[in-house]
Amino acid sequence: MQQKIKDTKHKEQRSEHPKVFKKVKQKSSPPAVRKEFPLHGTTTNESDDIRLNKYVASCGIASRRAADELIKAGKIWVNGKPVSEPGTRVKSKDRITYQGKILKPETNLVYLLMNKPKDTITTSSDDKGRKTVLDIIASKISERVYPVGRLDRMTTGLLILTNDGELAKDLSHPSSEVRKMYHAVLNKNISIPDLQKIAKGVTLEDGLAEVDGVDVLKDAPNEVGITLHSGKNRIIRRIFEHLGYDVIKLDRVAFAGLTKKDLPRGHFRHLTEKEVTLLKHFGNRRKKNKS
């Protein structure tokens, strides 16, 4: 039976692990949404004058960040000429092409939640022929979607995929402060002093690694729950390695208030309308922080 992870302000977010984390430090988070119903007919609502990178991302050929790279490389053409500035303003009447094909915005926005299996790459393709997260959905989803952020090849757990390039960019940006919770299994028991060091923040080669909460499992002192909003590469593994621990298993159990409860490893589902609204709450927070 699942147990609650205690939180100072909210009690809605749950761990998928049957044991309880002993609290060391934990901040509040938005409640997870439980009620589910199908999401149909969600469409884009593009302005008639938008940035080129936003337009390209809305066409489903690349994420917002990847769209920037395509444009800078001169691979996106506007009215018969290559454009290299991502911020170029374009209109719906403009002829925008990639590799000779006219780009049109996706008319149906798709939002998926996947329970990523291990030994799977979080990219659209892999030059070494390894399995990617898109291989899992290839025969079931006709729209081209892309993962929001990345998980290491051997890291499992919750992953969002979408063709909503604007939302993907917002959720990946540090100013959105999207909280992610992980369950880490270490090669040895973790000490209380080391837990306290993590709670205060560990200084790595690229700066201070701050966390929002860190907990040890009640009956398994080598298993740790850690919550943070940093998007730095391999941040969880590097924190523990800095203190002399090896991460044997790493699983993301929550992202932006969502969990992968009742979703088997290697499977995915469409997000509900309320869950999409929850994600957009974080995207709107980034926009507010910019203003």
**Contact of 67 with 53, CB cutoff 8 Å:** yes
**Contact of 96 with 78, CB cutoff 8 Å:** yes
The residues near 277 (Cβ < 8 Å, ≥ 6 apart) are none
Alpha helices in 84-191 (DSSP H): 133-137, 165-172
Q: What are phi and psi of 128, to 5 degrees?
A: -95, 5
Closest CA to 284 of 92, 30, 9: 30
Active site residue 246: no
* Tokens (6 digits) for 41: 């007919």
Q: What are phi and psi of 208, to 5 degrees?
A: -75, 130
- 165-172 and 64-72 helices cross at what angle (nearest 10)? 100
The residues near 1 (Cβ < 8 Å, ≥ 6 apart) are 18
Q: Mapped to the 3 state alphabet, what secondary structure does 164-202 carry?
A: CHHHHHHHHCHHHCCCEEEEEEECCCCCHHHHHHHHHCE
Question: In this structure, are strands 96-98 and 101-102 parallel, antiparallel, or unpaired?
Answer: antiparallel
Cα distances from 243 to residues 7, 214, 265, in angstroms, run 26, 14, 30
Q: Rounded to whole angstroms, how far apart are CA atoms 82 and 284?
A: 32
Total number of residues shown for the chain = 291
Active-site residue, from 152, 206, 219, 251: 152
CA within 13 Å, CB half, 139: 2
What are the catalytic residues? 152
